[in-house]
Structure formats: C-alpha cells, structure tokens
Amino acid sequence: MPPLELLLQQALNGVMLGVMYALIAVGFTLFFGVLDVIHFSHGDIFMLGAFAGLSALLGLKAAGVAGAALALPLAFAAAMLVTGLVGVAAERVCVKPLARSSPLMTLLATLSLGLVLRESVLIFYPRGADPKPFPQLLPQGGVEVGGVAIRYENLAILAIGFAAMIAVDRIINRTRMGAAIRAVAQDPEAAQMMGVNLDRTVDATFFLGSALAAVAGILSGLYYSEIHFIMGITGGVIGFSAAAIGGLGNVYGAIVGGLLFGVLQTTAAALIPRGSEFRDVVAFAVVMLFLVFKPSGILGEKSVERV
Amino acid sequence: MLELAGVSTRYGAITMLRDVSLEVAPGRIACLLGPNGAGKTTLIRTILGIVTPVAGEIRFEGQRLDRLRTHQIVERGIGVVPEGRRVFPRMTVEENLRMGAFVEWTPADLGERLDRVFALFPRLAERRGQRAATMSGGEQAMLAVGRALMGRPRLLLLDEPSLGLAPVLVEQLFAMVQTINRSGTTVFLVEQNARKTLEIAHHGFLIQKGEIVGRGSAAELAASEIVRHAYLRA
C-alpha cells in the first residue's frame, strides 16, 4: 500500500487531468443532448483549440504582448472563437445534412472530419509532425501541504477549468439561450412550439461545446508544456468515455465523469505495480464496467426515459 | 383570426389533408372534431409549420403563416397545448412556465403572468419546484395549458387536451378553457370528445379522412347526422 501522501498527490493530479477531460466531455454531452449525435471530431476540435491557442500566443509575443496576464486571456478568447466557429461549421457540414439518414452516417462524417482536421494541422502547421513546445505562462513554484506538493501552475489550471465549468452552468441555467438548449434537449418540437429557433440553438450549442474544448486544449498545453497534432485522438476517446460514464446528455454527469476518469488514471498509477504503464488500461476497464452495469451513466436519465 | 384556404398536405405518397378550408372567428371557441387518424393533429402541425402544406394558404390576423418556421409562427401570438401535453420533463413547473414566455423571456409583467396562471391552477403553485415528469397526467395537462398562457397568446391551440384524463378532470379543464376564452383569448380546440367539446364551443368543423365534412355552429354540429352517428351515440 503506497503512503497516503502519494495517494493524495495522485488524486490531486487526477483532478487536474479530470478538469481537462470534463471540459471535453461537456461538449460531447451537450451535442448528444440537443441532437442525439456523437460528434466524433470533437477530440480534434480540442487539438485544434490547443494549436489555435499556441498560434495566438506566438503571434502576441511577436506583436510584443509579453505578459501572461494579457496574453493568456487573449489566447483563450481567440482559440475559443476558432473552435467555436469550426464546431458550428462541423455541425452544419457533418451533422445537419445527415439528420434524416442513419446515425452511422453522422458517425462516419464526424470521424472523417476529425481526420481532416488532424491531417490539416500535420500538413499546414509549420513542422506539424513534431510536438510543439507550449509557452510556460503560469506562475511557477509551489507549496507543500502535508507531504503533498501543490504547484501554483496546477492551481491556476484548476481555477481556470472550474471557472469555465461554472460559466457553462450559468449559461445553461440562467440565460435564455441556455433555456433553449435545455428545452431542445428535452423535446425539440415542443421547444419550437414555445418559440425556440432550433437552428440557432443548435449553433449556439456547438459553439459553446467547441469553445470549451479550446479551453481544455490550452490547459493541456500549459500542463504538459507541449502539444501534438495527435493529442485529439486520446483526448476525444477519454472525453467521450467521461461523458458516457457520467450519463450522456447530462452536463454535471460529464463533469463528474471527467474528474472520475482522471482520478482513476492517476490512482491506478499509484496503486498498481507498474501502474503508470497500465493507467489507461485500468481507467478504460472501469469505463467498460460502467457500460455493462450502469449503461445510462452515473447521472444519466435520458436513456432510461427512452427505454 | 385564423384562416385556412384549400390546404393540402402529403406524407410521401399519402395525402393527409385534402383541400381543407376553415376559419376560426376572433373571440370565439372553435372546434375541430374527428376520429382518430382523421388528420386533426396533422392540421395543427400544419398550422404550426411543422408540416409544410403542398397547396393552400394559412393566414393569422390576415398575414400568411405558411412558409414561416415554427418559432416565427408562434411569435405572432399563438399559444400551443400540443398533443400529449409535451411538458419539459426535466424542468420544474416554474421552468416550464418560463418556457411559455420564451419569446419575450423577461417581459415586464412576468410576475403577473405567473400569478395569473397560479390563480387559474392553484395546484401548479403548490408544485412550483417539482419536476414535470413526476406529475400526474391531469397536473401535466394544467401545466401545458398554463405554459401556453404565459406567452399571452391571442390564439390558443389545444390538441386533444382531454386525452387520457378522467371525466372529472376533463370537466375542469374545459371549464378552464371557457374561462380563458371569456378573458379574451380566441380558442381553437381539436378534440375527439364531441359531447364535451360542443358544450363549450361556439362553432366548429368536422374532419374525416383528411377532409372537412361538416361545419357550423355548435348547435348545428350537435344536431348533424354525422356527429350524432359517429360521436354522440353512447
């Protein structure tokens, strides 16, 4: 049994990862909620967000904007705008035209779009095949509390991640557009009978979910200090798994699922011999157990109601 | 108030509505009576732009509705109680009512509108924070009507509101529709329950196999052969 400090340390690291997973998962769950689709290029939208963020930071640096306090918020805004618009375009190209055909077609179309995004970054980003170093803009150093090292950088990532989640919660629960998103998720036709503009609501949902993926992308760059054009594959699978174990369609489920997945990965690494090699095996094994024993997810209701 | 002229709709090769013409008089309760599968719900869905007519015109207060999108149609001042109620199951009673005022979202008189609905349906006030999915059919029916009223509609469309309700609840609901109408809202009530409907309606139409087969005042309809044979036997 590893010492308690190590477990706590790993749990903290897990929450760090989990925040990023949760931000990706919220997108998956929002898209599924409003349109009943799994948007398989969402992982690559996350990757695109990281590259858009990096480009923005490099551009700002070249333009003489050096301080993180200014550069970072601008980079977040730019990357969120880019992925938001790409997400809306993805929905209009890969989802809406296929609304009346088999869900398999949407699956294929979104998978293909993911490939296009990935290959585009590989080809068009300078030396796209190489991992790209990501600027370290967060405060360095840290403190030790009871044997657990807490880095300021990690606290900043947690703060940004949770701020994004709280913002989503506010948008969904307190705004007119959020009410439209919830109404469409529960009954699209009744929503329209109340005056909800379906197309605009779907656009807003894809913008919101994709912008969150950009936040996750930049946080990932800040955390790992590098980004790579294939990062969206794992990011997408994990984000989707997190959304599934949380209960597809439920935003809070996606957040819980993301955090759970991150903690599972890191505690598996601490508890099992050679665990860091097996962390994904353990985490995905738990996902499979969830799919078998609780297929509607932790907070999922939608699929239950459907049966 | 609402006019349909020569409206036909198709679903694939099947004609659902054939040359339907009718008009709902302002300030009145108009009804559309017909058996299951006659095209009643299709007619409502056509008025709401969910089904696009292949021929004909639909006008509301003189302006064309056909070719508009659903949300644009209801924005003109039409409230809907859809078939099967369709309350938002994971929203609370209050959130559902808020959705009824979606078009304006924060009208100055939002509180008054809520109070008015709660006055009509005290049960909804008691259940304000309850999720709609956990309510009984009768309560959901009240919620659906209350929700439609939140938008202060000039025309209220009700699609088989009595379906699945116990007779005593149907009685209450129809009394409520009458109250709503007396306060100035025009009502278009689509029903299978001819007896009860003709008690409150002023005028109406009979539909069979997608065609209007009778029209007139409530008294005329009640006396007509078709209605007496098809609906008022019992």
Query: What would the pLDDT profile of B148-187 be if each residue is shown by its tens digit?
Result: 999 999 999 999 999 989 999 999 999 999 999 999 999 9
Span A207-223, average pLDDT: 97
CB B191 within 8 A of CB B206: no
CB B131 within 8 A of CB B83: no
Q: How many CB atoms lie within 10 A of CB B234?
A: 4
CB A268 within 8 A of CB A75: no
pLDDT for the residue numbered B233: 53
Please name the residue of chain B whose CA is at the shortest distance from the CA of residue A174. Answer: B95
- Confirm whether B62 is domain-assigned: no
3-state secondary structure of B174: helix
Hey, is the C-beta of B153 within 8 angstroms of any chain A C-beta?
no
Average pLDDT, chain B: 93
Hey, is the C-beta of A303 within 8 angstroms of any chain B C-beta?
no
pLDDT band at A167 (very low <50, low <70, confident <90, very high): very high
The answer on pLDDT for A53 being more than 70 is yes
Structure tokens at B39: 């095209």
The answer on pLDDT for A112 being more than 50 is yes
pLDDT for the residue numbered A1: 59
Q: Is the alpha carbon torsion for A169, A51, A245, B134 positive or negative?
A: positive
Hey, is the C-beta of A198 within 8 angstroms of any chain B C-beta?
yes
Hey, is the C-beta of B93 within 8 angstroms of any chain A C-beta?
no
Hey, is the C-beta of A181 within 8 angstroms of any chain B C-beta?
no
DSSP state of A40: T
Please name the residue of chain B whose CA is at the shortest distance from the CA of residue A190. Answer: B86
pLDDT for the residue numbered A304: 40
Contact B90 A186 (CB under 8 A): yes
Contact B89 A186 (CB under 8 A): yes
Residue B126: give the domain boundaries.
24-45+76-201+215-230
- Chain A: give the shortest CA distance to residue B234, in Å: 35
Hey, is the C-beta of B91 within 8 angstroms of any chain A C-beta?
yes
- Chain B: give the shortest CA distance to residue A22, in Å: 22
User: Residue B148: phi, psi to the nearest 5?
Assistant: -65, -35
CA distance A199 to A220: 32
Please name the residue of chain B whose CA is at the shortest distance from the CA of residue A187. Answer: B88
Query: ipTM of this predicted complex?
Result: 0.94
Hey, is the C-beta of B105 within 8 angstroms of any chain A C-beta?
yes
CA distance A271 to A193: 54
- Confirm whether B93 is domain-assigned: yes
The answer on pLDDT for A122 being more than 60 is yes
Span A127-152, average pLDDT: 90
Structure tokens at B151: 């938008």
Q: How many CB atoms lie within 10 A of CB B199?
A: 14
CATH of the domain at B35: 3.40.50.300
Contact A193 B98 (CB under 8 A): no
For an interface test with B, which of A193, A202, A301, A305 has the most B Cβ atoms less than 10 Å from its Cβ? A193
pLDDT band at A283 (very low <50, low <70, confident <90, very high): confident
CA dist B30 → B45, B63, B177 (Å): 17, 20, 11
As a dihedral over the C-alpha atoms of residue A222, residue A226, residue A230, residue A234, rounded to 10 degrees, the angle is -50
Contact B70 A192 (CB under 8 A): yes
CB pairs under 8 A between A and B: 66
- Show residues of chain A in contact with B71, CB under 8 Å: 192, 195-198
CATH of the domain at A92: 1.10.3470
The answer on pLDDT for A149 being more than 80 is yes
- Chain B: give the shortest CA distance to residue A252, in Å: 14
Please name the residue of chain A whose CA is at the shortest distance from the CA of residue B51. Answer: A189
The answer on pLDDT for B234 being more than 50 is no
What proportion of chain A, given as a percentage, has pLDDT over 70? 97
Task: State the pTM of this model.
Answer: 0.92
With b for 16 or more beta-carbon neighbours within 10 A and e for fewer, the A232-256 pattern comes to: bbebbbbbbbbbbbbbbbbbbbbbb
The answer on pLDDT for A305 being more than 50 is no
User: Which segment of A86-100, A271-285, B1-15 scores lowest on mean pLDDT?
Assistant: A271-285
- Chain A: give the shortest CA distance to residue B195, in Å: 28
Which has the closest alpha carbon to B122: B104, B144, B142? B142
Per-residue pLDDT of A240-259, as tens digits, reads 999 999 999 899 999 999 99
Give Cα B31 distance to the centre of its chain: 9
The answer on pLDDT for B207 being more than 70 is yes
Contact B102 A176 (CB under 8 A): yes
pLDDT for the residue numbered A307: 27
Amino acid, single-letter form, for residue B187 = V
Hey, is the C-beta of B50 within 8 angstroms of any chain A C-beta?
yes
Residue A193: give the domain boundaries.
4-306
How many domains, chain B? 1
How many domains, chain A? 1
- Chain B: give the shortest CA distance to residue A37, in Å: 20
- Chain B: give the shortest CA distance to residue A197, in Å: 6
- Confirm whether B59 is domain-assigned: no
Span A180-209, average pLDDT: 96
- Chain B: give the shortest CA distance to residue A244, in Å: 19
pLDDT for the residue numbered B232: 60
Please name the residue of chain A whose CA is at the shortest distance from the CA of residue B103. Answer: A195
pLDDT band at A24 (very low <50, low <70, confident <90, very high): very high
Span A115-142, average pLDDT: 93
- Show residues of chain B in contact with A192, CB under 8 Å: 48, 50, 69-71, 74
Which has the closest alpha carbon to B207: B189, B182, B223, B219? B189
Hey, is the C-beta of B152 within 8 angstroms of any chain A C-beta?
no
